[in-house]
Copies of this chain bind each other. A is one copy, B any other.
Amino acid sequence: MDAAQRAQIRVVLVDARNPLNIGAAARAMVNFGFDTLRLVNPYPVAFQEARSAVRAVGVLKTAEQCGTVAEAVADCALVAGTSDSERRELKHPLRRLENGARTIAKAAASGPVALLFGSEKFGLSNDDLSHCHWLMRIPTLAEQPSMNLGQAVAVTLYELVRSREAARARPAERRAAVAAESERITQMLVEVLKQSGYVNPVIGASTLAKTRRLVRRLNLESADVAVLSGMLRQILWKLNSR
């Protein structure tokens, strides 16, 4: 992964609670040459402490705070989550870190990519996960899967820079929809489903989260977003004109 690709990576920490872990994640970013850090809903004291630490790195000073995951990934065409186990409820494909990193390198050759890391204690929630196209797993032992946040970030970024083949990746020809576009489709579809009285028959996650996952799995192209939203707008208009 070359410098231009690294510049497209957004490291997103969701609900981080420990200033040392926030600092460690930032330091690993500096070591491996990544510079865009976004914190979703960090514990304010932790964020403050991490930023004011004597050895706080520049990445932390320019870190962006976001209210929601949707905001943090809005400019990204690919959103990859990290998880220490399969999350069956939302049917995410789970890739080994190596394979995920290859795909990320390719995507980063043509646009922004978000890497989502969950809180130290709970990982990513179903709602966080619903924003992800797929998940990566670091090959820890099944009986001791849960890594320290700073170490998980370090290992993930190492894997991204490790491979030389990744640096040679060519840009994709089709432009994938960015998260804001997928989210627009998601919100419209949910509205249509609400107006239609559709109730998601599968229990365990909200209709919104399920629908978001469904839309992410569709691998929407940017060019199709306009068509789909036109369709949904019309359906919605018709449903409301009753």
Contacts and interface: CB of A to CB of B under 8 A. Distances in A.
Given A93-B172, A96-B169, A218-B220, A139 B161 contact: yes
Contacts of A201: 230
B148 A162 contact: no
Interface stretch (A24-32, A38-46, A68-76): A24-32
Interface stretch (A8-16, A108-116, A122-130, A232-240): A232-240
A63 interface: no
Interface string A207-242: 000100010011111011001101100110111001
Contact of A158 (B20, B138, B202, B242): B138
Contact of A144 (B31, B221, B238): B31
B223 A91 contact: yes
- Category for how many chain A residues contact B: 35 or more
A155 interface: yes
A198 B151 contact: no
Contacts of A140: 31-32
A169 B224 contact: no
B166 A31 contact: no
Contact of A155 (B158, B192, B230): B158
A158 B98 CA distance: 11
Interface of A: 20, 24, 27-28, 30-33, 86, 91, 93-99, 138-141, 144-148, 150-151, 154-155, 158-159, 161-162, 165-166, 169, 171-172, 174, 189, 192-193, 195-198, 201-202, 210, 214, 217-221, 223-224, 227-228, 230-231, 234-235, 237-239, 242
13 contacts: A24-B150, A27-B148, A28-B151, A30-B144, A31-B140, A93-B171, A93-B172, A195-B238, A196-B238, A198-B230, A198-B231, A214-B224, A219-B219
